[in-house]
Amino acid sequence: MNLTVTIAPVRKSVVVNVDPARAFDIFTGGIDRWWPKTHHIGASPLKRMVVAPVVGGRWYSLCEDGSEVGIGHVLVWEPGRRVVLTWEINADWKNDANAVSEVEVQFVAEGPHNTRVELEHRGFDRLGKESGEKMRKDVDGGWPTVLDMYVKEVAHGSN
């Protein structure tokens, strides 16, 4: 008998005071301005966070020592609407192409100058029960800080 492990996705949302196209641009192209420098897995301090703006593009961090650390890849790129990224990080917080979950971010207009940004981090079951549950718990606690930094950057950038 096979038992299927099902681990619930993490869902978070914030509302920002810009239109969906601007919210998307700041989330993706502006990620280096708002992503917390403390939130990375490289051995050297984080210098720059990058999301390549194309399906198949890399999501990675560039460290101060010149090394690059992969985070994932772009699965869906729909400017102003949504982006889906792989999260290729295992429960020990190491880059691991065999430990893939997904982060989907949707940008939903709530008026001419307001956007609800809905983040869903899913697929933890692919990591196995113990590792998947650990990763889910970790990111459930981490995404609020990351999204708070994003909201602050949107507010700063829209002034």
**DSSP per position, the chain:** -PPPP--PPEEEEEEESS-HHHHHHHHHTTHHHHS-TTS---SS-EEEEEE-SSTT-EEEEEETTS-EEEEEEEEEEETTTEEEEEEEE-TTS-EEEEEEEEEEEEEEESSTT-EEEEEEEE-GGGG-HHHHHHHHHHHHHHHHHHHHHHHHHHHHHT-
| pLDDT tens-digit map of 99-139 | 999 999 999 999 889 999 999 999 999 999 999 999 999 99
Domain extent at residue 17: 10-27+74-157
pTM of the predicted model, to two decimals? 0.93
35 part of a folded domain: no
Residue 93 covered by a domain:
yes
pLDDT value for 85: 98
- pLDDT tens series, the chain, 159 aa: 455 668 999 999 999 999 999 999 999 999 999 999 888 888 889 999 999 999 999 999 999 999 999 999 999 999 999 999 999 999 999 999 999 999 999 999 998 899 999 999 999 999 999 999 999 999 999 999 999 999 999 998 755
Query: Is 44 part of a structural domain of the chain?
Result: no
Residue 63 lies inside a defined structural domain of this protein: no
Residue 37 lies in a domain: no
- Let me know if residue 127 belongs to a domain: yes
Q: Does 33 reside within a domain?
A: no
Number of domains in the chain: 1
- Residue 131's domain is classified under what CATH number? 3.30.530.20
The answer as to whether 69 is a domain residue is no
Query: pLDDT value at position 17?
Result: 96
